[in-house]
């Protein structure tokens, strides 16, 4: 059986992670999720804290019941490892707003969530943070017989370019490589980095190409080490596979779920 890489042991956190602060801190939630606290503005990207339909190998670093408040939840697309309906419902009482594409926002509204739908290229603000909606190519359902009766559109999935007082964070979402977009952005100060051999993700070669387009940007690995799925490429990425592919490999950050990462503006990033 293929080797399944597993994330480091979880570092649980509580209410202190949501408190006002003098900087911007990211915490990987496991799966594809992140918590961002920027000077007290708090948001989660693609949180999945319970209710997934495949075996999970990690302990989640926080339970929804222990989240005191979120200014926003950002969701990149409708797959259930990104738009976790149970998690979003669990967080509804403490979350001011949910942001996603127009399609995903309709799903959220149907669930009674205070959702805002956006077009690709739109901007919105969350407290001290400015967010731009970026393109993604992840309409895998159209290539998979029986996956959906709906025809998915390019604008149904997205990424987020997040500008904080301490620098920029790029969460490109699940996507095939779009060279004219993914290789031509300003260098972010942190890249939430999805890497695997999945054909409906960047692919390992595409992920390396993207990383090397921004050779000084720290790479915060995610979408790996959380699901017991050694034969399923979207979840079975191994950080060891990046060695020899990524320039300046010391910038590869193999975070434990819950481990804090302090954002710092890079002199060469913009």
Number of separate domains in the chain: 1
Distance from chain centroid for Cα 80: 13
Is the pLDDT at 251 greater than 80, yes or no?
A: yes
CA atoms of 153 and 156, how far apart (whole Å):
5
Give a yes or no: residue 10 inside a domain. no
Q: Say which CATH number the domain at 249 has.
A: 3.60.15.10
Q: Classify residue 261 by its DSSP letter.
A: E
pLDDT 10s digits, 81-122: 999 999 999 999 999 999 999 999 999 999 999 999 999 999
Q: Range of 26's domain?
A: 19-256
Q: Alpha helices of the chain — where are they, by DSSP H? A: 85-90, 102-110, 179-182, 204-213
CA atoms of 49 and 148, how far apart (whole Å):
25
Give a yes or no: residue 67 inside a domain. yes
Look up the pTM and report it. Answer: 0.97
Is the pLDDT at 12 greater than 70, yes or no?
A: yes
pLDDT confidence bin for 146, thresholds 50/70/90 = confident
């Amino acid at each position: 059986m293929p080797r399944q890489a597993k994330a480091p042991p979880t570092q649980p956190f509580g209410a202190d992670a949501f408190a006002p602060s003098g900087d911007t801190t990211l915490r990987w939630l496991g799966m594809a999720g992140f918590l961002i606290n920027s000077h007290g503005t708090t948001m989660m990207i693609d949180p999945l804290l319970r209710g997934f339909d495949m075996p999970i190998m990690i302990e989640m670093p926080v339970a929804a019941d222990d989240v005191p408040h979120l200014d926003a939840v950002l969701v990149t697309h409708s797959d259930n490892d990104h738009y976790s309906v149970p998690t979003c419902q669990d967080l509804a009482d403490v979350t001011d707003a949910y942001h996603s594409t127009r399609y995903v926002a309709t799903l959220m509204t149907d669930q009674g969530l205070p959702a805002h739908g956006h077009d690709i290229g739109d901007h919105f603000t969350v407290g001290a943070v400015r967010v731009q909606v970026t393109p993604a190519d992840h309409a895998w359902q159209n290539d998979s017989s029986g996956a959906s009766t709906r025809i998915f559109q390019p604008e149904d999935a997205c990424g987020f370019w997040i500008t904080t007082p301490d620098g920029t964070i790029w969460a490109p979402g699940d996507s095939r490589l779009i060279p004219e977009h993914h290789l031509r952005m300003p260098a972010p100060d942190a890249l939430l980095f999805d890497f695997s051999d999945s054909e409906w993700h960047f692919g390992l070669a595409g992920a390396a190409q993207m990383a090397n387009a921004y050779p000084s940007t720290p790479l915060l690995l995610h979408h790996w080490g959380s699901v017991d799925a050694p034969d399923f490429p979207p979840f079975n990425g191994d950080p060891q596979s990046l060695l020899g592919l990524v320039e300046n490999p010391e910038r590869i950050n193999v975070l434990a779920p819950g481990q804090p990462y302090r954002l710092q503006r890079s002199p060469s990033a913009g």
